[in-house]
Amino acid sequence: MIGYAQWRQNERVGATILPRLVTTLAPLIVLFIGAEIWVDWANGSISLPLIISMLILTGMGMWLGSVSNRAPLFLSSAFLSSVIPIIYELKVGGGAGLTLLAIVVLMQGIFASAKGLSQPMIQRGSIGLVLIVLIAEFWAVVGDLDLVLVQPIDNLIVSLPLFLWLSLLIGYFAAVHMRRVPWMPIGLAVGLAFLPSPGSAFAWTTAIIMFVYMVTRPQTRRWVSDWTFSMLATSWFLVDWLSSSGSTFSNLELDPAFLIVPPAALLFIGAIASRHGKLSKAAHHLMVVLTLLSHEMLFGVGSYLPLIFVVYLLVLVLREASNVELVDLEDSEARKEVSVLVLVTGVSILILEWMGRLESGLGDKIGISGLGVEALMFAVVLYAIGRSLRTIEFDVGKLSGMLIDAGSTVSVWDPQTGQWSSQPSASINQRIGEWGPAMRGSMILPLLIFSLAAAGSTATWTVMLLLLPIMVLMREVLFELPQDNRTKAGGVWLLFFVGLPWSFRIHESLIDAGGSEVVPAQIMFDLIMLAGPLLGQFMLIKQGVVKEEGKAADWLLIGVMMVALLDVSGGILLLGMMFLAMTRALLHRRTIAINLLPFAWAAGILMLIQLPVAIIDSVPFSASLLTMKSSFVFGINYPAWAGIGWVIIGAIPLIGFARDLRLAKGDDAGKQEEFAQYPTLIPTLSILVGLHLLVSDPYLLVLAVVVVAGIGAWATGQLAAFWVWPPAFCFSLMFTASEHDWFGEDEVFTIASLVTWIVVILFWKGIMQSRAPEAIPGKYVAPTKDMVRFDAEAKYQGTRDILANVQLGYAVIFSLFGMIAWGGIAFLATAFLLFWRMWNQRYAKLMLAAIFLQAIAIGNTANEIGKYEFEAMGTWLVLSGLVLTWASWRMWDFEWTEKSDEEILDLTKLAGIAGAIYVPLGALFLADDIGAWLFGSVLAVFGGIQMMIGFEQDEKWRRIYTLVAIPVGILIVAGDISNGVLQGVMYLLAALTLFGQGFLYMNRAGVMVSGTAAHSTLVTENIVPANTDVTEVIDGEEPEPVEVVEEVVETISESDSVDEVLPQVEPEPVAEALQQIEPETAAPTRFHSGEGFDIELPPDVLFRIRSSLRGATYDGYKPIVKWDQHGRVILDFEALNE
Instruction: Say if residue 933's pLDDT is above 50.
Output: yes
Residue spans of the domains in the chain: they are: 1-181, 302-411+423-454, 458-619, 857-1004, 1016-1038+1079-1138, 1040-1078
Q: In terms of DSSP H, where are the helices of 818-900? A: 825-840, 844-865, 869-889
Beta carbons of 680 and 772 less than 8 angstroms apart: no
| pLDDT tens digit sequence for 902-924 | 888 888 888 888 988 888 888 88
- pLDDT at position 1004, please? 57
The percent of residues above 90 in pLDDT, for the chain, comes to 9
Higher pLDDT, 306 or 243: 306
* Cis before 533 (ω within 30): no
Whole-number Cα distances in Å, 864 to 638, 812, 861, 875, 878: 44, 19, 5, 17, 22
Strand ranges inside 509-566, DSSP E:
none
Beta carbons of 614 and 664 less than 8 angstroms apart: no
What does DSSP say about strands 419-423 and 410-414: parallel, antiparallel, or unpaired?
A: antiparallel
Residues in the chain: 1138
What's the rounded mean pLDDT across residues 120-143? 83
Higher pLDDT, 847 or 755: 847
Instruction: Say if residue 178's pLDDT is above 70.
Output: yes
Backbone conformation region of residue 899, classed left if phi is above 0, alpha if psi is from -120 to 50, else beta: beta
The percent of residues above 70 in pLDDT, for the chain, comes to 79
Question: DSSP 3-state assignment of 1086?
Answer: strand
Higher pLDDT, 613 or 180: 613
| pLDDT tens digit sequence for 951-993 | 777 777 777 787 777 788 777 777 766 666 665 666 666 666 7
Whole-number Cα distances in Å, 436 to 443, 581, 724: 11, 21, 37
- When pLDDT is cut at 50, 70 and 90, the band that residue 51 belongs to is confident
Instruction: Say if residue 506's pLDDT is above 90.
Output: no
Higher pLDDT, 600 or 869: 600
**Minimal CA–CA distance to 492: which of 529, 463, 526?**
529
With 0.85 as the threshold, say if the pTM is over it: no
Dist. CA 1006–CA 133, nearest whole Å: 71
Instruction: Say if residue 1012's pLDDT is above 50.
Output: no
- pLDDT at position 987, please? 65
Angle ∠(426,431,437) on CA atoms, nearest 5: 105
Instruction: Say if residue 572's pLDDT is above 60.
Output: yes
List the single range of 257-266, 910-919, 1061-1070 with lowest mean pLDDT.
1061-1070
Dist. CA 853–CA 869, nearest whole Å: 14
Instruction: Say if residue 307's pLDDT is above 80.
Output: yes
Q: Provide the residue type at 928 as one letter.
A: D
- pLDDT at position 669, please? 44
Dist. CA 935–CA 933, nearest whole Å: 5
Instruction: Say if residue 927's pLDDT is above 50.
Output: yes
DSSP label of 311: H
Whole-number Cα distances in Å, 609 to 572, 603, 604, 1027, 1034: 14, 10, 9, 99, 95
| pLDDT tens digit sequence for 145-174 | 888 877 778 777 788 888 888 888 888 787
Instruction: Say if residue 1053's pLDDT is above 50.
Output: no
Q: What is the DSSP string of 255-308?
A: PTTTTTHHHHHHHHHHHHHHHTTSS-HHHHHHHHHHHHTSHHHHH-S-SHHHHH
- pLDDT at position 1011, please? 40
- What's the number of CA atoms in the CB half-sphere (13 Å) around residue 436? 25
Instruction: Say if residue 517's pLDDT is above 70.
Output: no
- pLDDT at position 941, please? 83
Higher pLDDT, 43 or 446: 446
**Minimal CA–CA distance to 205: which of 188, 223, 226, 222?**
188
296-300 long-range contacts (CB < 8 A, ≥24 apart) are 296/240, 296/259, 296/260, 297/352, 297/357, 298/351, 298/352, 298/355, 298/357, 299/244, 299/355, 300/357
